[in-house]
């Protein structure tokens, strides 16, 4: 194929545009699983609230959090939150946060991403402890709650401790009277649990605390959720549309480049053959020249389209998906490695089996063209000697060899897709099974597992596409070598570069000096 690379020069701009579009398409495809994960984890599970950083929180609720916060965490909170009172708040703020009509509320200031992350980590442990205590208080009212299997060991211990408090004593006031070391020990234990859960799962748990606080403040939490779902869903549709537009544009440009490439190549081959003498025709034979000008160039055109659409795209999407998988919370990369090894093994077996047949097929096509040409050229002689039956048998033999070879390669290639689909579906089942256990333990979220599954399929498909095209490229390479052989053959008889013009009195005169003749190989 590299021997014919000069024919791509007129299309370099189109090829660069194709590469840019493929990058855009890959980025869109890689973004979609993330949007899906956000819709499931945040939009559905967390009610549209991204993390545990509240936009507004009641002063009374902050006092509960403050019990379990260190001094630097309290300063960070108070630095970036503004305390609003019912008297100082504007009507617009009261409409957004109905609790402001009756009590003081802290409102979040405009902050950057790094500050938000710092506040999230500062509030994370305290929010989890407060939410656990409030849930324990609610369950104490239920007589069967203590014996329920759904209540964890830590919750039971918390409920037993709360029950020991005198009636009428506020739980958080009692907690405030506890030694600082005891409170820090509780928070340390909670931070260990949060770390084991993973950041994504912890964010969802803290987002549930923020959602409960919003509801207690009288805010419309359903509207918050719907707004998040519509925004993320709209972005996902926009990205999908961008991917589709890029794919269509790449297909259009790739087809034009490949068609232009084969047009120029076929033109030069035809021009070269026009200048061949009998020696070159005897060397190549007419039937192979026809095959090389038509079938071989068609093979090159088809593979060029595949290169522009798949060979460039597959590494981009594959490497991007691998990076996404490494950055994900799912510890299941071994599944992808296992599946890739299995698929590559299947492809290598198919490659070693089918590849020799592809090389044979081109020679069989030459043979068929030779039989057909001889039959057409010698038709009067064949009829004169009533030899039609013998010619039919010759054609049937050449045709049957091509049919058998094509049937073998087609059957071998047709078994690939069912086998690969079986491996891919088995990988999906394995991911669901392993991911389900991680979800049950709280270290993985449903959306993260779904995103991991999508990225896994992208990686597997990338390797599959590269392997599939690696089977087709050698066949096209053989065809390119056959075409290049014609283009690089120097005719034995060439017109002189600077022909001499005869004088007028010498016109019509022919003179031979030291002329000899013999057939090729007749020395």
pLDDT in tens, 220-274: 889 999 999 999 999 999 999 999 999 999 999 999 999 999 999 999 888 888 8
Domain boundaries, the chain: 2-41+231-490, 50-219
Summarize the confidence of residues 121-126 as an average pLDDT: 82
Which of these ranges, 142-151, 363-372, 485-494, 505-514, has the smallest mean pLDDT? 142-151
Residue of 382, 399, 381 lying closest to 391 (CA atoms): 382
Q: And the tokens for 111?
A: 């902050």
Per-residue confidence band for 169, with pLDDT thresholds at 50, 70 and 90: low
User: Which residue did the predictor score with more confidence, 60 or 506?
Assistant: 60
Partnered with residue 84 across adjacent β-strands are 105
Phi-psi region of 386 (alpha: psi -120 to 50; beta: other; left: phi over 0): left
Predicted confidence (pLDDT) at residue 389 exceeds the cutoff of 70: yes
Give me the CATH code for the 2-41+231-490 domain, please: 1.20.1560.10
**pTM > 0.75:** no
Residue 14: how many other CB atoms lie within 10 Å = 17
Torsion sign across C-alpha atoms 452, 453, 456, 462: negative
Cα distance from N-terminal residue to C-terminal residue, the chain: 37
Would you say 406 and 422 are in contact if contact means Cβ atoms under 8 Å apart?
no
Would you say 460 and 343 are in contact if contact means Cβ atoms under 8 Å apart?
yes
């Amino acid at each position: 194929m590299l021997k014919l690379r000069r024919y791509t020069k007129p299309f370099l701009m189109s090829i660069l545009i194709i590469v840019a579009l493929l990058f855009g398409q890959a980025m869109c495809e890689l973004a979609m699983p993330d949007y899906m994960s956000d819709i499931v984890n945040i939009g559905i599970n967390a009610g549209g609230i991204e993390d545990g950083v509240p936009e507004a929180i009641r002063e009374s609720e902050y006092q509960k959090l403050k019990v379990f916060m260190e001094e630097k965490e309290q300063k960070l909170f108070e630095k970036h939150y503004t305390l609003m009172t019912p008297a100082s708040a504007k009507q617009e703020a009261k409409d957004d946060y109905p609790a402001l009509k009756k009590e003081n509320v802290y409102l979040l200031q405009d902050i950057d991403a790094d500050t938000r992350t710092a506040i999230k980590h500062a509030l994370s442990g305290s929010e989890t402890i407060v939410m656990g205590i409030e849930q324990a208080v609610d369950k104490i009212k239920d007589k069967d709650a203590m014996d329920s299997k759904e209540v964890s060991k830590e919750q039971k211990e918390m409920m037993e401790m709360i029950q020991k408090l005198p009636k009428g004593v506020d739980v958080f006031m009692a907690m405030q009277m506890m030694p600082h070391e005891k409170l820090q020990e509780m928070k340390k234990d909670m931070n260990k649990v949060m770390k084991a859960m993973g950041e994504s799962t912890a964010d969802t748990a803290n987002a549930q605390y923020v959602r409960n606080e919003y509801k207690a403040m009288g805010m419309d939490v359903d509207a918050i959720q719907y707004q998040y779902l519509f925004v993320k869903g709209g972005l996902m549709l926009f990205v999908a549309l961008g991917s589709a537009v890029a794919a269509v544009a790449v297909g259009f440009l790739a087809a034009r480049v490949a068609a232009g490439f084969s047009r120029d190549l076929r033109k030069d081959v035809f021009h070269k053959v026009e200048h061949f003498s009998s020696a070159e025709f005897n060397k190549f034979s007419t039937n192979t020249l026809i095959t090389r000008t038509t079938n071989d160039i068609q093979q090159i055109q088809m593979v060029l389209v595949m290169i522009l659409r798949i060979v460039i795209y597959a590494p981009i999407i594959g490497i991007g998906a691998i990076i996404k998988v490494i950055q994900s919370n799912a510890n299941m990369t071994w599944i992808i490695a296992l599946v890739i090894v299995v698929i590559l093994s299947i492809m290598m077996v198919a490659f070693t089996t089918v590849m020799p047949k592809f090389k044979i097929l081109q020679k069989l096509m030459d043979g068929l063209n030779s039989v057909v040409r001889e039959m057409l050229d010698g038709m009067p002689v064949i009829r004169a000697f009533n030899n039609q039956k013998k010619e039919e048998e010759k054609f049937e033999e050449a045709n049957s060899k091509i049919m058998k070879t094509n049937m073998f390669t087609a059957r071998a290639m047709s078994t690939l897709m069912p086998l690969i689909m079986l491996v891919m579906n088995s990988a999906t089942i394995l991911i669901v099974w392993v991911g389900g256990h991680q979800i049950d333990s709280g270290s993985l979220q449903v959306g993260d597992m779904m995103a991991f599954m999508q990225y896994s399929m992208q990686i597997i498909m990338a390797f599959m596409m590269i392997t599939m095209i690696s089977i087709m490229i050698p066949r096209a390479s053989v065809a390119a070598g056959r075409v290049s052989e014609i283009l690089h053959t120097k005719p034995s008889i060439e017109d002189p570069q600077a022909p001499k013009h005869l004088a007028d009195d010498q016109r019509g005169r022919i003179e031979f000096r030291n002329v000899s003749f013999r057939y090729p190989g007749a020395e």
